[in-house]
Amino acid sequence: MSLEKSIKDKSARIGILGLGYVGLPLGVEFARKGFSVVGFEVNPAVIAGLNKGRSHVADVPSSALGGLLSAGRFKATGKFDELARMDAVIICVPTPLRKSKEPDVSYILKATKEIAPRLRKGQLVVLESTTYPGTTKELVLPLIQSESGLKVGRDFQLAFSPERVDPGNRTYKIHNTPKVVGGVTPACTELAARLYGEVVNAVVSVTSTEAAEMVKLLENTFRAVNIGLVNELAQMCHRLRLNVWEIIGAAATKPFGYMPFYPGPGIGGHCIPLDPHYLAWKMKSLNFEPRFIELAGVINSAMPEFVVRRLAEILNLDGRSVRGSRVLVLGVAYKPNVPDMRESPAIDVVKLLADQGAKVAYHDPHVPTLEVEGIKLASKPLSDATLRSADVVAVLTAHSQVDYRRVAARARRVFDARNAMNGQRGSKVFRL
């Protein structure tokens, strides 16, 4: 049967490589729509947990797995030989940065090497991992063709489709977030669009894999640059003794031509701090200086230092130095209401404070323990005593279950990097 047909009647077998934040929700969505899904993983703990119905990804409740496992529509495995049985294979492996800020595409290469020798005629391969423009055609395609002896467009189809998961977003999930698809050939695009059309409401086809790769990088660079702009604006407002949140709030009333972004203690998560560097690296290799990306990176990555400087100024009001002061960090996850610590700027703030001799404690309802360069901390209960004993409370992430009125009432001094204290007045609350 052709893949078009088996996609339509949902008999197509879907293989997902990498069952993390991206691959697991995607695999579960295909399985929920009636497809039979096999998740290929290299982490034995993830495989064992999932096959017992335990999800390790916050957006996928364990309750969603049980029925799919017992119906035989989802399983996790480390046996890559099963790839040959799949009709469509989707790669969702990590794409980190090296310390030098160069792309680390080794996971993509390893996944491709698992697929290539087992590829058979009629299969569709899609890369979802965020990467620089050219990866699918320059790295994945030659590897698959040379190892399999099969030809793209004729024997198998290959496409890139950027992943747009926003962990913790309650409104936008896989099904109602349009999916961009670009294939090596028009037939590749068409087939990949059909596959995703089964799980998302809208598919947007672009003319090439490079275009699809660039779409993702535009989206994330747009965020990084705009956050960089408001982070610099926050510093300007501090010098001008203006409330940056008031300025942004008023500007956001303009019904056209403006979109609000908000400052903070830095940028975190798996995408915004990393992905623009994939584009920067590619452009530098073409002798092009990507200035916006570089500047946003410089401003955003300096925000933890700005936060610590502001905390030092606040402590100074009470005649205290950072050394020996008790600082309670409120919220350490990189964004509200999730346990995700990846690239969280709170890590840098805690480290900078500890380096200067502060006694740092933290409270985060989602993050029970934290380790920063050998310093092990456990989340303190947010009792009145905890709040009162700190010389300053630094709100770095505004989780919604925290009672900020109580924080403002009990704490000696508060530095609010997220405007969580919006509406709380008084000389002890200081905003970013």
Ligand X SMILES: NC(=O)c1ccc[n+]([C@@H]2O[C@H](COP(=O)([O-])OP(=O)(O)OC[C@H]3O[C@@H](n4cnc5c(N)ncnc54)[C@H](O)[C@@H]3O)[C@@H](O)[C@H]2O)c1
Question: Binding-site residue total for ligand X (CB under 6 A)?
Answer: 26
Closest CA to 377 of 347, 407, 356: 347
271 is catalytic: yes
Least distance (Å) from ligand X to the CB of residue 213?
11
Distance between CA atoms of residues 133 and 212, nearest Å:
8
Residue 163 within binding range of ligand X, rule CB under 6 A: yes
User: Within 335-374, which residues bind ligand X (CB under 6 A)?
Assistant: none
Least distance (Å) from ligand X to the CB of residue 163?
5
Instruction: Quickly list DSSP for 172-240.
Output: --STTS-EEEEESSHHHHHHHHHHHHTTSS-EEE-S-HHHHHHHHHHHHHHHHHHHHHHHHHHHHHHHH
Q: Please identify the residue of the shown chain whose CB is closest to the bound ligand X.
A: 20
Counting other chains too, the contacts that 408-415 makes at CB distance below 8 Å and 24 or more residues apart are 410/384, 411/328, 411/387, 412/318, 412/388, 413/314, 413/315, 413/317, 413/318, 415/307, 415/310, 415/311, 415/314
Toward ligand X, which CB reaches closer, 59 or 87?
59
> Among 41-49, 237-245, 376-384, 398-406, which window interacts with ligand X (CB under 6 A)?
41-49
Cβ within 8 Å of residue 11, ≥6 positions away:
1, 36
Per-residue contact string for residues 231-270; x = within reach of ligand X by CB under 6 A: ---------------------------------------x
Can you tell me which of 15, 23, 182, 345 binds ligand X, judged by CB under 6 A? Answer: 23
Can you tell me which of 36, 55, 123, 129 binds ligand X, judged by CB under 6 A? Answer: 129
Can you tell me which of 130, 300, 337, 386 binds ligand X, judged by CB under 6 A? Answer: 130
Beta bridge partners of 179: 203
User: Within 55-114, which residues bind ligand X (CB under 6 A)?
Assistant: 92-95, 107, 110-111
Can you tell me which of 14, 248, 271, 360 binds ligand X, judged by CB under 6 A? Answer: 271
Chain centroid to CA 379: how far?
23
Catalog residues that contact ligand X under the rule CB under 6 A. 17-23, 40-43, 46, 92-95, 107, 110-111, 129-130, 163, 165, 167, 270-271
Instruction: Supply the residues annotated as catalytic.
Output: 271
